[in-house]
Amino acid sequence: MMKVTLMRSPNGRLASHKACVQGLGLRRMHQVVEVEDTPCTRGMVNKVSYMVKILEES
């Protein structure tokens, strides 16, 4: 599991990047969600790495 925080707004971003943020379960700024550390979610985090921050991995 890893904790991901939305640090920058998805407003004005590419539709695919907005979809990645939504797919991770992030809705609001500074919201923290815990997602499974799978290759799929890791790819989504890498795609929007400029908008999110990984807090911890376990």
pLDDT tens by residue, 27-37? 999 999 999 99
When pLDDT is cut at 50, 70 and 90, the band that residue 47 belongs to is very high
Domain positions in the chain are 2-57
List the structure tokens of 28: 């609001």
What sign does the CA torsion over 43, 58, 10, 24 have?
positive
Q: What are phi and psi of 53, to 5 degrees?
A: -135, 135
Q: Is the pLDDT assigned to residue 52 strictly greater than 80?
A: yes
Q: What is the CATH number of domain 2-57?
A: 3.30.1390.20
> How large is the angle between the packed helices 15-23 and 39-47, nearest 10 degrees?
140
Quick: pLDDT tens for 1-15: 999 999 999 999 999
Mean per-residue pLDDT over the chain, rounded: 95
